[in-house]
Structure 1
Amino acid sequence: MSTQTPDDDAPDQRLHPWSWLFVLLMQLRQFLLPLVALVVFGNRGDRDEMWSNLAALVVIVVLVAISILQYLTYHYRIGRDAISVRSGVVSRNRREIPFARIHNVVVHQNPLHRMFNVAELRLESAGGNRPEAEMRVLRLDQALALEQLVRQRGQQPVAAADPGDEATPALPADDVLLQLDTADVVRIGLLSDRGWVVVLALFGASYQLFPRDTVNDAIEYGGRQAFGYANHLHPATWVWVVAALVLVVGFWVTLRVLSVAMALLRYHGFRLTEHERRLTVASGLLTRMRTSVARRRIQAWTLRESALQRWFKRRHLRIDIAAGVSTNGERRDLRELAPLATPQACDALVQHLLPQLQWPPPQWNPVPQRGWWRLCLPALVIVPLLAAGAVWEVGPWGALLLAWLPWSALRAHRTMARMGYHLDARYVAVRGGWWQRWWRFAELDKLQALRLQRSPLDRWLGTSSVWLDTAGAHGSVGLCLRYLPEDEARAVFERLNAAFVTRRVGR
Structure 2
Amino acid sequence: MMQLRQYLLPLVALLVFGQRGDRDPLWAQLVPVIVIVLLVVASVLQYLSYRYRIGEDAITIRSGLLSRNRREIPFARIHNVVVHQNPLHRLFGVAELRLESAGGNRPEAEMRVLRLDQALALEQRVRRRGPLLQPGAVNDAPGQPPPLPESEARHVLLRMSGRDIVKLGLLSNRGWVLVAAALGALAQVVPRGSLDRAIEQGGREVFGYANGLQAGMTGLLLAAAALLLVGWLALRALSVMLALLRYHGFELSEQQRRLTVSSGLLSRVRSSVALRRIQAWTLSESTLQRWAGYRQLRVDSAASQGSEGNEQRGLRELAPLATPGHCDELVCHLLPDVQWPPLQWQDVPLRGSWRLCLTSLWLTPLLAAALAWRWGPAGLAALAWLPIALWTARLQLARIGWYRDDCYIAVRGGWWRRWWRWAELDKLQALRLSRSPLDRLLGTSSLWLDTAGARGDVALCLRYLPQAQAADLLEELGRALAKRRLRW
TM-score, normalised to structure 2, is 0.93
Q: Deviations over 1:245-283 (max 9, x none)?
A: 101111111111011111101111110000011000000
Alignment of 1:445-456 (within 5 A): 445-456=426-437
* Structure 1 residues 392 and 286: alpha-carbon distance in aligned structure 2, compared to 1, 3 A threshold: farther
Displacement after TM superposition at 1:398 (Å): 5.7
* Structure 1 residues 215 and 394: alpha-carbon distance in aligned structure 2, compared to 1, 3 A threshold: farther
1:37 partner amino acid: A
Alignment gaps of 5+ in structure 1: 1-22
Q: 2-side partners of 1:223 and 1:167: how far apart? A: 67
Q: 1-side partners of 2:302 and 2:193: how far apart? A: 45
Q: 2-side partners of 1:281 and 1:383: how far apart? A: 47
Pairing 1:335–2:316 present? yes
| Equivalent residue, structure 1, for 2:290 | 310
| Equivalent residue, structure 2, for 1:56 | 32
| Equivalent residue, structure 1, for 2:142 | none
| Equivalent residue, structure 1, for 2:404 | 423
Q: 2-side partners of 1:99 and 1:335: how far apart? A: 21
SS at match of 2:453: coil
| Equivalent residue, structure 2, for 1:30 | 6
Displacement after TM superposition at 1:395 (Å): 6.9
Picking from 339, 353, 361, the partner of 1:380 is 361
Q: Would you say the 8 A contact 1:313–1:342 is kept in 2? A: yes
Pairing 1:495–2:466 present? no
| Equivalent residue, structure 1, for 2:234 | 254
Q: 2-side partners of 1:66 and 1:286: how far apart? A: 28
Q: Would you say the 8 A contact 1:39–1:53 is kept in 2? A: no
| Equivalent residue, structure 2, for 1:290 | 270
1:357 partner amino acid: V
Q: 2-side partners of 1:312 and 1:194: how far apart? A: 18
Q: 1-side partners of 2:220 and 2:368: how far apart? A: 26
Q: Deviations over 1:172-201 (max 9, x none)?
A: 331011111000000100111111111111
Q: 2-side partners of 1:251 and 1:477: how far apart? A: 30
RMSD: 1.9
* Structure 1 residues 448 and 460: alpha-carbon distance in aligned structure 2, compared to 1, 3 A threshold: same
Q: Would you say the 8 A contact 1:42–1:48 is kept in 2? A: no
| Equivalent residue, structure 2, for 1:46 | 22
Pairing 1:432–2:403 present? no
Pairing 1:129–2:100 present? no
Displacement after TM superposition at 1:476 (Å): 3.4
TM-score, normalised to structure 1, is 0.90
Displacement after TM superposition at 1:49 (Å): 6.8
Q: 2-side partners of 1:398 and 1:50: how far apart? A: 71
Q: Would you say the 8 A contact 2:121–2:132 is kept in 1? A: no
State the percentage of identical aligned residues: 63
1:336 partner amino acid: E
Picking from 174, 178, 182, the partner of 2:154 is 174
Q: Would you say the 8 A contact 2:4–2:40 is kept in 1? A: no
Q: Deviations over 1:314-338 (max 9, x none)?
A: 0010001112423324312100000
Pairing 1:221–2:197 present? no
| Equivalent residue, structure 2, for 1:71 | 47
| Equivalent residue, structure 1, for 2:218 | 238
| Equivalent residue, structure 2, for 1:143 | 119
Q: 2-side partners of 1:390 and 1:112: how far apart? A: 59
Q: 1-side partners of 2:188 and 2:441: how far apart? A: 49
1:191 partner amino acid: L
Pairing 1:360–2:331 present? no
Pairing 1:92–2:65 present? no
1:313 partner amino acid: G
Q: Would you say the 8 A contact 2:210–2:220 is kept in 1? A: no
How many residue pairs were aligned?
Answer: 478
* Structure 1 residues 502 and 37: alpha-carbon distance in aligned structure 2, compared to 1, 3 A threshold: same
* Structure 1 residues 366 and 426: alpha-carbon distance in aligned structure 2, compared to 1, 3 A threshold: same
Q: 1-side partners of 2:360 and 2:25: how far apart? A: 60
| Equivalent residue, structure 2, for 1:7 | none
Q: Would you say the 8 A contact 2:121–2:133 is kept in 1? A: no
Displacement after TM superposition at 1:309 (Å): 0.7
Displacement after TM superposition at 1:465 (Å): 1.2
